[in-house]
Structure 1
């Protein structure tokens, strides 16, 4: 839609949905953290997410991970609000029913965004069911089950048009067959986990760890602010049970499921969302304990000095602290596209063909296809290698197959 609205004149336009979704996820994280464990937890979780290298990295891409995370977090948050309302009265009321409808709607939109969007339903059903068994008597459980059914039904109804649109491509079975090739199973679980840990460290590393410590110091100071500690939310119980159950379901489920698949780093992006949420809760608890131990508030000067020492010490430990992948320019694929255009035109001239009329089939590199198209090259994305020209007239046009590192990993 960003291309439809703004055109394709600028290379940053396809990244608009990811950027906006990543920005809106931060206040959403603050809101759900605040409702689950108080204002300090919400502030800490939002700050950790905003400074998370992986979150920043995928906000700058034209991938679907950031949008998926926004819909997934919003869907689970609305389900958590529904549970809070059912705690007050485990019967039918219009407000919790509408929360269930909205939660299902967001889950369906997440499912439209990416095939793994159904994870919202898995988190909600498993987490809420565990909370319900712990919270309710069996005769009261029926209303929780009805509301869960509403969430699932609405999500499926929202997703059904996409399901039927797949018939022209062989139906969902063809999609499932494609997904199956990325499943490594339990035999490859440990290897996939090791690779994911390594890649996440390279993308996050020491800077993320220093950020967590720095944010712990800042939220420790925030806990001393009278307006914050006196707010109505701060007077609520320290942990909301349904939020903890949903968070545990999200964290444990993804921690077990992600290594079952080929270790693409982007699979871990939704996992980071719940990690930031849980870290916010942990930091708020630590801040409360420190407050009772230290008695005297930390001065702003001491806080500033602590943050400077952290940053300077981290720079000494890691000279490439600010040279992480997150902060590097994202123009290298555009530069590669320019080089490809120059090379294809040169080759076409050497073969006695027109340098202004070249055809580029791009296999496995959608970003490269986009940048070639932006250079007015006649390019087409392909998912197969049966590209022999059947029209004799096409033999007069220089035709190229462009591949990259993704093609080397393809089973085709």
Structure 2
């Protein structure tokens, strides 16, 4: 899931700079938007979502206010008719430019794919994870179970303190003398930016809410949607704070201290206490204490233990790591850091072919397997006879990796000791 986390970072920057580029039309913003979208696409093949999110949000920003009836628009700010309605031509040109930059930046990957069968090979691989509308509800329920296992305590705790911080710093704002014309232009610019941001945010959240369960419910696949949830929560707090500050400004006309009313303060505490109670309830229901940082160093520790045992071997040594790229990385790193003159080669293996034939008499060959490796019992008898068990180590993957492994199981995930 390392690439999925990096993907979310590039997507966040790509969407942000796309918003800036569409609003301002500045060349630097257009270039950065295309660059970050290209980096997201380089990181994972679904990096094109960066363009899809900014493009669909922009189209909604252009179209919906023009076709929404006035009666409905009065209750839906993002769809309200505006005096600052943008011209379609420049906006579409800006988005087309940033999309072209992203595609040009991604072309080296597409060219390199030709020797592996082109993008059709990638699409065929993705089709294996696609469950479609028929499996949508089951995949959605499984993703919810994964998130419930992780627990809502820290999210609820963070929301609780966000509300407290907002109340603490909710003070009357100072006045900056402006003319009527400058006030109008600032209001129009702010409304335009907020509306575009709202539509892009809606496209990100709603689009991935529908699209994510269309695939096998690996938790890492939901990370872009979880990022949208974080952004939506922050936007709601910002929107709430802006409205509360507006109320405070209005109250300054009739009060001397500019404080919120008792009614507003009471509901603030009701909200905060309810959110915190929800987090505590998640601990009781899941019957486990929350952890700030999960254990993610099991493979590193195992690699160190393996290295100590292999030091006793004499002669050339070949270590084939089967189906465990993380362990291969740590073993190779340990070997690189050790400056002893020992003839040792560490290789990644896709199957048991490295032990299918007898090695030279003066060479030691070790096969390292793990939970992601093919079963030895499925191999031919001569391969089984050629191997003998040397050592075993307990492996406890991180919660994210473990939940990925549980993607196709049913019921609530219950983790056992390794």
Settle same-fold status: TM greater than 0.5. Answer: yes
Q: Which runs of 5+ in 1 are unaligned?
A: 1-57, 86-94
State the shift of 1:240 in Å.
1.3
1:267 aligns with 221
- Out of 15, 38, 42, the position equivalent to 1:112 is 42
Q: Distance in 2 between matches of 1:202 and 1:256?
A: 22
Residues 215, 386 of structure 1: alpha-carbon distance in 2 compared, 3 angstrom cutoff: same
Residue 315 of structure 1 contacts residue 321 of structure 1 at CA under 8 Å; is this kept in 2? no
Aligned counterpart, 1:382: 349
The answer to whether structure 1 residue 172 and structure 2 residue 102 are counterparts is: no
Contact 2:156–2:275 (Cα < 8 Å) also in 1: no
**Residue of structure 2 in register with 1:327 after alignment:** 293
1:318 partner SS: helix
How far apart are residue 66 of structure 1 and its match? 2.9
* Equivalent in the alignment of 2:324: 365
Instruction: Determine which of 9, 29, 33 is the counterpart of 1:103.
Output: 33
User: Which residue of 193, 196, 208 maps to 1:254?
Assistant: 208
Which residue matches 2:76?
none
Question: How many Å separate the matches in 2 of 1:394 and 1:105?
Answer: 54
Query: Structure 1 or 2: larger helix share?
Result: 1
Equivalences for residues 8-407 of structure 1 within 5 A: 63-85=2-24, 95-134=25-64, 140-224=87-171, 226=173, 236-237=190-191, 240-287=194-241, 292=247, 296=259, 318=283, 323-324=289-290, 326-340=292-306, 345=310, 354=313, 357-376=316-335, 378-389=345-356, 392-393=359-360, 396-405=363-372
Number of corresponding residues: 331
State the shift of 1:196 in Å.
1.2
Distance 1:234 1:227 in 2: 16
Is the CA contact (8 Å cut-off) linking 1:202 and 1:324 kept in structure 2?
Answer: no
Instruction: Using the TM superposition, name which of 368-377 and 356-365 deviates more.
Output: 356-365
Give secondary structure in 2 for the equivalent of 1:399: strand
Separation in structure 2 between the aligned mates of residue 230 and residue 375 of structure 1, nearest angstrom: 65
Q: CA deviation at 1:259?
A: 1.2
**Structure 2 Cα separation of the partners of residues 262 and 161 of structure 1:** 29
What do you get for the CA RMSD once the two structures are aligned? 4.4
Q: How far off its partner does 1:130 sit?
A: 1.6
1:360–1:187 Cα change, 3 Å: farther
Is the Cα contact below 8 Å between 1:82 and 1:100 reproduced in 2? yes
- Higher CA-based Rg: 2
| 2:10–2:40 CA contact under 8 A, matched in 1 | yes
Residues of 1 paired with 2:139 and 2:244: CA distance? 38
**TM-score, normalization by structure 2:** 0.65
What is the Cα deviation at residue 65 of structure 1?
Answer: 2.5
CA gap of 1:128–1:188, structure 2 versus 1, over 3 A, is same
Does the C-alpha gap of structure 1 residues 290 and 124 become closer, same or farther in structure 2, counting only changes over 3 Å? Answer: closer
Residue by residue over 1:104-136, the C-alpha shift from the partner in whole angstroms, topping out at 9 and shown as x without a partner, is 121111111121111001112111112122367
C-alpha distance in structure 2 between counterparts of 1:146 and 1:314, whole Å: 46
User: Given the superposition, is the C-alpha separation of residues 182 and 113 from structure 1 closer, same or farther in structure 2, using an over 3 Å criterion?
Assistant: same
TM superposition shift of 1:242: 0.9
Local SS of the residue matching 2:217: coil
Distance 2:305 2:358 in 1: 28
1:206–1:314 contact (8 Å) kept in structure 2: yes
Cα 1:312–1:148, aligned 2, differ >3 Å: closer, same or farther? closer
Q: Structure 1's 198 and 341: CA in aligned 2 closer, same or farther, altered over 3 A?
A: farther
String of CA shifts for 1:291-337, please: whole Å, max 9, x gaps: 64996359xxx999x99998799669737999545513322222233
Secondary structure of the structure 2 residue equivalent to 1:375: helix
In 2, Cα distance between equivalents of 1:309 and 1:147: 44
Label 1:406 to 1:240 Cα distance change in 2 as closer, same or farther (>3 A). farther
Cα distance in 1, alignment partners of residues 186 and 324 from structure 2: 49
